[in-house]
């Protein structure tokens, strides 16, 4: 059995309570690598390689990992912005991977995305009015004549002055632009919003503004978020449950506090220990696990456990056998042969 | 100025540095009278958000401000008895990369892509220390080994693109330390890196600091990194230093409303916060000479005086300076 097949077969981490809005099952996305004049496929970047989880209505599901671990690709593949290589994405009971054309477009109303870069994700030739009003126009859910009023209302909702609606993106700061992106994402009153690193391009004092805005909107409209980020402190702050990704797969998933207080996977433990804490007294006492080397290439990931090349407690067995994705404690999933041993802390 | 109780000799003493940029839209007041000092072997953290003037401050000291449009309007920077700002181009070139080492943010663009790492590492050794080619090569391999690059001697023949981001930043640090400088200036050296790689780099810098004993100026927007690395911290806002204290004092007892806001807006890895206290508004655009406190428009403690007069950095506790009219503990003007 190949690694991928095994990953797809592995069980989906189920959410304990609440109504499941999104179910991701064995999601795989490979990007082919082509060479030569006839563009022969010579390999694949295995960006996402068998990811399964559920997201409950109204919760914030955090997805963390370092650059290149596949977290953004997972987000885009959920929304069918990339078509998956294998696996299923169930949204409210409907398999998005089987929808096409108009059916998919109708579903998109319910699922929106907030992008990382507020400078690149807004069309510089469109006014704020047009940018925020565009989804309303495309989906035609309200009469055209009512759009300007709704746009003003949306701008007010995200804390922007509606009188600025006729300006262009370059006239706004990064934080304001991200508010525009948020206004556009909530315009259709979606049920799910994938936030792909929504604050990492912003200054610290502005990050808190945008995060507070996202939390307020969630309370008000019972929104469900998948919050993708590399900032583990911010993910702890905003998420209800958190999944940790490494090289295309999930290595650990748990309730927020459980994950941060009792991480089971050596990678999660190392990752958490590497994050600096803004308190010199805490920093003095902290034990840090320094991982050796870099993340291997997703074109040719290590056999067995993908983390074994950097894992301080790796055994020979780790190279032979892919660790099973298992629920070690209620609601706490981990993929490590030696998770019972307490890991590396 | 704050004076430490320690007896380490002073290596750098900067007084009233003012740097401006002339643009078609007007003059950008990037650095508005910054004074700082640095003792042998200590680490000074400079913290602030984009556009606060932290990078321009150190680039001015190194005389790396492009002119025009930039101009160092006034100030002194006493480095071991000589004023860096008065040196000729030739003289400052002999200091840069030799007595003052530099590490910049972006390990992807700071190297010349068409020269081997070996060539780029040996060049300063040949120029500053007058080494021969073979001496320089030997030393370069030692340096790469020191920063933890495997097969150091072989890797000298490789080009920058053959190194990963973390490895490139290691080479950059090796280069910054190649001539055993008195001061290492590190401008957001880990911002472009993943957190596990960042931890590697910070451990490395701490180890080398203890081995070599150089002083460090570490510039960052990340209050977490500074907490574990610096001895003293300066917080900058709108081209001014607005708070200056030893690291433990600053985090335990922040006294400037901006520093308080900044710490409150940070989520913590080690504890759960109900809601982040955000700082409303935006950082200032530095197009006008500030006539009053640059933080007044965003400040929740603001008083009338804050909108009339710009507070100077003043001592409010032993080794603790702030530029603020208000006593945040009472919410009233400082007596």
Predicted interface score ipTM higher than 0.85: no
Q: Do A277 and B276 touch (CB under 8 A)?
A: no
Q: Do B203 and A290 touch (CB under 8 A)?
A: yes
Which residue in the set B198, B251, B273 is minimally distant from A280, CB to CB?
B251
The C-alpha atoms of residue A141 and residue A30 are separated, in whole angstroms, by 36
Give the bridge partners for A226, in sequence order.
A61, A194
Chain A residue with CA closest to B194: the answer is: A66
Which residue in the set A173, A215, A271 is minimally distant from B282, CB to CB?
A173
Q: Which residues of A touch B268 (CB under 8 A)?
A: 233, 236-237, 277-279
3-class secondary-structure state, position A170:
helix
The C-alpha atoms of residue B209 and residue B231 are separated, in whole angstroms, by 12
Query: Are A48 and A28 within 8 A, CB to CB?
Result: yes
The C-alpha atoms of residue B100 and residue B16 are separated, in whole angstroms, by 20
Would you tell me which CATH number, out of the four given (3.40.50.300, 1.20.120.1460, 3.40.50.150, 3.40.50.2000), belongs to the domain A3-58+65-110+229-341? 3.40.50.300
Summarize pLDDT for A208-244 with one digit per residue, the tens.
989 999 999 999 999 999 999 999 999 999 999 999 9
Q: Which two tokens stand for residue A331?
A: 């609601």
The C-alpha atoms of residue B178 and residue B175 are separated, in whole angstroms, by 5
Q: Which residues of A touch B228 (CB under 8 A)?
A: 276-277, 280, 283-284, 286
pLDDT band, very low/low/confident/very high, at A75 (cuts 50, 70, 90) = very high
Summarize pLDDT for B8-58 with one digit per residue, the tens.
889 999 999 999 999 888 899 999 999 999 999 999 999 998 889 999 999
Q: Which residues of B touch A285 (CB under 8 A)?
A: none
pLDDT of residue B1: 41
Which residue in the set A271, A281, A284 is minimally distant from B195, CB to CB?
A271
Provide mean pLDDT across the span A80-97: 94
Mutate to test the interface with A, among B147, B222, B228, B230 (most CBs of A within 10 A): B228
Provide mean pLDDT across the span B82-87: 93
Q: Which residues of B touch A232 (CB under 8 A)?
A: 195, 269
Place of tokens 């042998």: B40
Q: Do A204 and B265 touch (CB under 8 A)?
A: yes
Which residue in the set A204, A234, A238 is minimally distant from B221, CB to CB?
A204
Chain B residue with CA closest to A281: the answer is: B248
pLDDT(B295) > 90: yes
What is the reported pTM? 0.86
Q: Do A294 and B197 touch (CB under 8 A)?
A: yes
Summarize pLDDT for A250-305 with one digit per residue, the tens.
999 999 999 999 999 999 999 999 999 999 999 888 888 888 877 888 889 999 99
Q: Which residues of B touch A295 (CB under 8 A)?
A: 194
Interface size A-B, in CB pairs within 8 Å, comes to 132
Summarize pLDDT for B128-160 with one digit per residue, the tens.
888 999 999 999 998 888 888 888 888 899 998
User: What's the gap in Å between the CA of A25 and the closest CA on chain B?
Assistant: 28
Summarize pLDDT for B193-219 with one digit per residue, the tens.
888 888 888 988 898 898 888 999 999
pLDDT of residue A5: 46
Q: Which residues of A touch B270 (CB under 8 A)?
A: 277, 279, 282
Q: Do B266 and A204 touch (CB under 8 A)?
A: yes
Going through B97-173 in order, the beta strands assigned E by DSSP cover 100-103
From its phi and psi, is residue A343 left (phi > 0), alpha (psi between -120 and 50) or beta? Answer: left
Summarize pLDDT for A26-56 with one digit per residue, the tens.
999 999 988 888 888 888 899 999 999 999 9
Which residue in the set B199, B227, B279 is minimally distant from A288, CB to CB?
B199
The C-alpha atoms of residue A111 and residue A133 are separated, in whole angstroms, by 17
| Maximum alpha-carbon separation in chain A | 67
DSSP characters over A98-133: G--HHHHHHHHTTEEEE-S-TTTSS-TTS-HHHHHH
Sign of torsion over alpha carbons A312, A315, A321, A327: negative
Q: Which residues of A touch B220 (CB under 8 A)?
A: none
pLDDT(B288) > 80: no
pLDDT(A15) > 70: no
User: What's the gap in Å between the CA of A256 and the closest CA on chain B?
Assistant: 10
Which residue in the set B198, B223, B226 is minimally distant from A274, CB to CB?
B198
Q: Which residues of B touch A233 (CB under 8 A)?
A: 224, 266-269
């Amino acid at each position: 059995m190949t690694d991928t097949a095994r990953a797809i077969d592995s069980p989906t981490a189920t959410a304990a309570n609440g109504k499941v809005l999104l179910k991701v099952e064995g999601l795989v996305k490979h990007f082919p690598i082509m060479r030569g004049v006839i563009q022969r496929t010579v390999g694949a970047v295995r960006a996402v390689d068998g990811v399964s989880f559920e997201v409950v209505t109204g919760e914030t599901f955090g997805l963390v990992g370092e650059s290149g671990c596949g977290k953004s690709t997972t987000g885009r593949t959920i929304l069918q912005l990339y078509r998956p290589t294998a696996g299923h994405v169930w949204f409210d009971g409907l398999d998005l991977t089987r929808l096409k054309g108009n059916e998919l477009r109708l579903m998109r109303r319910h699922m929106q995305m907030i992008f990382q870069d507020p400078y690149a994700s807004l069309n510089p030739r469109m006014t704020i009015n047009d940018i925020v009003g565009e989804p309303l126009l495309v989906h035609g859910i309200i009469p055209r004549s009512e759009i300007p009023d709704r746009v003003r209302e949306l701008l007010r909702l995200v804390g922007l002055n509606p009188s600025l609606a006729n300006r262009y993106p370059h006239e706004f700061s990064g934080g304001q632009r991200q508010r525009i992106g948020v206004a556009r994402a909530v315009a259709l009153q979606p049920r799910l919003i994938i936030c792909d690193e929504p604050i990492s391009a912003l200054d610290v004092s502005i990050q808190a503004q945008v995060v507070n805005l996202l939390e307020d909107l969630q309370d008000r409209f019972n929104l469900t978020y998948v919050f993708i980020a590399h900032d583990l402190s911010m993910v702890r702050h905003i998420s209800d449950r958190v999944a940790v990704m490494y090289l295309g797969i999930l290595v650990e998933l748990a309730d927020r506090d459980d994950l941060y207080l009792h991480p089971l996977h050596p990678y999660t433990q190392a990752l958490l220990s590497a994050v600096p804490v803004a308190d010199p007294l805490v920093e003095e006492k902290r034990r840090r696990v320094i991982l050796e080397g870099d993340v291997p290439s997703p074109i040719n990931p290590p056999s067995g456990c993908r983390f074994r090349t950097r894992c301080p407690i790796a055994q020979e067995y780790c190279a032979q056998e892919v660790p099973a994705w298992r629920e070690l404690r209620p609601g706490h999933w981990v993929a490590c042969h030696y998770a019972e041993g307490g890991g590396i802390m | 100025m704050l004076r430490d109780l320690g007896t380490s000799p002073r290596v750098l003493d900067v007084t009233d540095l003012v740097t401006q940029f002339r643009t078609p839209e007007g003059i950008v007041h990037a650095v508005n009278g910054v004074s700082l000092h640095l003792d042998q072997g200590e680490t000074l953290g400079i913290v602030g958000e984009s556009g606060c003037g932290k990078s321009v401050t150190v680039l001015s000291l190194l005389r790396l401000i492009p002119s025009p449009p930039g101009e160092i309007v006034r100030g002194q920077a006493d480095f071991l008895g000589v004023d860096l700002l008065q040196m000729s181009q030739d003289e400052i070139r002999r200091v840069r990369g030799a007595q003052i080492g530099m590490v910049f943010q972006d390990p992807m663009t700071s190297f010349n892509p068409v020269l081997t790492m070996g060539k780029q590492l040996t060049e300063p050794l040949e120029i500053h220390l007058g080494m021969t080619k073979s001496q320089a090569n030997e030393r370069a391999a030692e340096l790469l080994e020191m920063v933890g690059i495997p097969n150091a001697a072989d890797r000298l023949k490789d080009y920058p693109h053959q190194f990963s981001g973390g490895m490139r930043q290691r080479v950059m640090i090796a280069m910054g330390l190649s001539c055993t400088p008195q001061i290492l200036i590190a401008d957001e050296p880990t911002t472009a890196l993943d957190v596990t790689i960042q931890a590697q780099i910070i451990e490395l810098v701490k180890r080398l600091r203890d081995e070599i004993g150089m002083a460090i100026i570490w510039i960052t927007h990340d209050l977490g990194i500074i907490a574990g690395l610096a001895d003293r911290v300066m917080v900058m806002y709108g081209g001014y230093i607005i708070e200056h204290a030893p690291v433990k004092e600053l985090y335990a007892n922040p006294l400037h409303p901006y520093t308080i806001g900044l710490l409150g807006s940070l989520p913590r890895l080690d504890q759960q916060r109900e809601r982040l206290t955000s700082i409303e508004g935006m950082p200032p655009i530095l197009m006008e000479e500030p006539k009053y406190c640059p933080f007044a428009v965003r400040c929740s403690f603001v008083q009338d005086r804050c909108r009339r007069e710009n507070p100077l950095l003043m001592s409010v506790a032993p080794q603790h300076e702030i530029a603020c009219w208000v006593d945040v503990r009472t919410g009233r003007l400082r007596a």
